[in-house]
Amino acid sequence: MVAVPERRRVNHEATPMNRATISAQLEDFFRREFPNPGVELTASTDLLQNWLVDSLGIVNTTLFLESRFGVDVTRADIRAENFQSIDRLTDFVAGKLDP
């Protein structure tokens, strides 16, 4: 599980969030929280097939998205198209930050 700071401590506005930054932070998160030695992780790796273990992995990722990027993730956002890959998650976060 990710070590999630409470939301009031989040300061994501301090640096502008571009896609590259979001993507890099997501990649770092997945490497750290879901260690998968020997399996390559790229921006297009299918997270649902090979990386996230189960639905609590989704919960864990949600907590990370909310705390790190300050986005509000709803029940309806928990869909394969949003969590399929780091690329998709980056699009999702970027869309939430700049609707």
Q: Which residues contribute to the site for other proteins (CB under 8 A)?
A: 1-4, 6-8, 32-33, 35-37, 48-49, 52-59, 62-63, 66-67, 72-76, 78-81, 83-84
Cβ 75 to other proteins shortest distance, Å: 4
Structure tokens that stand for 81 in this block: 């198209």
Distance CA 94, CA 97 (A): 5
Distance CA 37, CA 39 (A): 6
Question: Which residue lies nearer to other proteins by CB, 18 or 28?
Answer: 28
Question: Which residue lies nearer to other proteins by CB, 19 or 31?
Answer: 31
